[in-house]
Amino acid sequence: MRFKALIFDCDGTLVDSERVGNQVIVESVRDLGLDLSLEEALEAFTGRKMTDTLGIIQARLGHPLPKDYLHTLRAQMAEAFKTRLNAMDGVHELLKTLKVPICVASNGPHEKMQVSLGVTGLLDYFEDRIFSAYECDSWKPEPGLFLFAAERLGIDPAHCAVIEDSPLGVEAALRAGMTAFGYAPRGDGTRLRLGTTTIFHHMDDLASLLC
């Protein structure tokens, strides 16, 4: 393999949580009077930190969100993840074959990743190599999270590859001086075509691209 470490995004890359999580958002804002389709939610919120997501929702509503909205939303998401979440197709098979250090780097908090990776049986692949933007106070598209992950792994950023499903994540990887692979399981990946990013559509295809 031409890379010394692989950094995986979590939501939408390892676990099929973007659709589940955004469906919960759609249902929750409907109760507040905002009609939003799942596709609109995916377009607006995929890859964003929660603070920005809440800001967009509030702007569209035209009034402040209830004080307990975030707490309630996270509880609803956690419950949905426990019952509806799956690993992305081919992820288990891919991770079993990798011979270089791997980690997860997500805009989401550790608590969320522990649930999603645990429910899908992926937690043991990563052990203590799970990094959150909340640890380093840097959210994608800023490069800080990926640089933090590389430092913790002890690998030069130039020798790291990042696997991402969102434009914000791809931008962060490129800004960190890393090689980006854009994962587009449900489309042509047009939104991920930034710089030298390589697009792929199934985890079965990634192993050969890493060589």
The alpha carbon of residue 174 and the mean position of all alpha carbons in its chain are separated, in whole angstroms, by: 16
Tell me, yes or no, whether 66 and 104 share the same domain: no
Final residue of a structural domain among 28, 52, 84: 84
- The predicted-structure confidence for 163-183, as pLDDT tens digits, reads as follows 999 999 999 999 999 999 999
Is residue 9 part of the annotated active site? The answer reads: yes
The pLDDT assigned to 172 comes to: 98
Q: Of the candidates 150, 144, 178, 154, which has an alpha carbon nearest to the alpha carbon of residue 164?
A: 178
**pLDDT tens-place values along the chain, 211 residues long:** 899 999 999 999 999 988 899 999 999 999 999 999 999 998 899 878 899 999 999 999 999 999 999 999 999 998 998 888 999 999 999 999 999 999 999 999 999 899 999 999 999 999 999 999 999 999 999 999 999 999 999 999 999 999 999 999 999 999 999 999 999 998 888 999 999 999 999 999 999 999 9
Question: In which domain, by residue range, is 157 found?
Answer: 5-16+85-210
Tell me, yes or no, whether 179 and 193 share the same domain: yes
- Catalytic residue of the set 9, 11, 16, 165: 9
Contacts of 16 (CB under 8 A, 6+ apart): 85, 86, 87, 88
The pLDDT assigned to 181 comes to: 98
The pLDDT assigned to 78 comes to: 87
Instruction: Report the chain's C-alpha Rg in angstroms.
Output: 17
Final residue of a structural domain among 84, 104, 136: 84
Percent helix, percent strand, percent coil in the chain, to nearest 5: 50, 15, 35
Tell me, yes or no, whether 97 and 171 share the same domain: yes
Q: Determine if the pTM surpasses 0.75.
A: yes
Domain count of the chain? 2
Final residue of a structural domain among 37, 55, 84: 84
Give the CATH number of the domain where residue 141 resides. 3.40.50.1000
